[in-house]
Amino acid sequence: MSLLNDLINLNLSETTEKIIAEYIWIGGSGMDLRSKARTLPGPVADPAKLPKWNYDGSSTNQAPGDDSEVILYPQAIFKDPFRRGNNILVMCDAYTPGGDPIPTNKRFKAAKIFSHPEVVPEEPWYGIEQEYTLLQKDVKWPLGWPVGGFPGPQGPYYCGVGADKSFGRDIVDSHYKACVYAGINISGINGEVMPGQWEFQVGPAVGIAAGDQLWVARYILERITEIAGVVLSFDPKPIQGDWNGAGAHTNYSTKSMRNDGGFHVIKKAIEKLGLRHKQHIAAYGEGNERRLTGRHETADINTFCWGVANRGASIRVGRDTEKAGKGYFEDRRPASNMDPYVVTSMIAETTILWKP
């Protein structure tokens, strides 16, 4: 094993200018991440200078077998925390050979919204709180839970410390450092209310970068759990009963909200979000009805409400924002398995572009 580790950790820059680029894309389910690697002649910093590539879309449920070629367009570059050196991770989106975005390419529409002349000057900022659950590989039961049984009730686990309260911290800390290394603006981590459940936060990130960074952070986490022999779940309600679900609370502000008088703009934006509540819920992740029950720090899925410092609301405004009269708000509705391209762009579209 030591020789294997030595080979994995070889520093390519000592012998060659060549680098390895890991191309990442989203598969047909909308949540399955795929990747493959290629050798490039030298370091690349601009995604526009990377070559396009292709893959077999019939094997990812994104194309028929008799016309299976799907083209990858490189969109964002990150440092590779696994191979290190000058090697890179490349977030891509997917197109037909004719240049049209395939149906599962949600980034394309999001990029159009974020490049809209009314959206660009508002500089929409996002901070996404990604919750997830670590599962034991062979039994698909949360890490740290007795197989076929349950731990003690919720209470001691949120931000808890100790072998009987915190399960998987080595994975979480490895992911934290790997994201910092990669250039992702990861802003923190914490243990969650349900044992075996954790959260990391990405942001602030502007526009389309929020989606790129969250997807690559998810990819890095998938790779680390693969190494650790643990299963990663983004199910919004992995365990039924008196256990918290998993969300992806999305914090949001525009330049108008961050400027003096911004609280009035925030209230107008929340009013718009309320008018399109059903459309947003439909796009905020599968299985969210199992999580948004009005219990466990959620609002009921059929009800829209907002409040200051209210974690049982659809939209929460912080006390600091209320006091300052400007700032940001938190959309607490998105599920942990939401697509950040869809959620971030839809919030911008509703609050900036949509005219009721």
Q: What is the pLDDT of residues 104-140, one digit of tens each?
A: 999 999 999 999 999 999 999 999 999 999 999 999 9
Mean pLDDT score, 146-170: 95
Shared domain for 124 and 99, answered yes or no, is no
Shared domain for 124 and 252, answered yes or no, is yes
Shared domain for 94 and 128, answered yes or no, is no
Mean pLDDT score, 46-56: 98
Shared domain for 195 and 95, answered yes or no, is no
Q: Which domain holds residue 253?
A: 120-353
Q: Rounded to whole angstroms, how far apart are CA atoms 117 and 129?
A: 28
What domain count does the chain have? 2
* Closest to 201 (Cα-Cα) out of 110, 306, 126: 126
* Closest to 197 (Cα-Cα) out of 229, 151, 147, 149: 151
Find the helix packing angle between 208-228 and 107-114, rounded to 10°.
150
Q: Domain holding 283: CATH number?
A: 3.30.590.10
Q: Is the pLDDT score of 1 beyond 90?
A: no
Last residue of a domain, one of 55, 76, 104: 104
Q: Is the pLDDT score of 258 beyond 90?
A: yes
> What pLDDT, on the 0 to 100 scale, is given for residue 356?
86
> What pLDDT, on the 0 to 100 scale, is given for residue 340?
98
Shared domain for 145 and 86, answered yes or no, is no
* Closest to 47 (Cα-Cα) out of 212, 214, 179: 212
Shared domain for 154 and 84, answered yes or no, is no
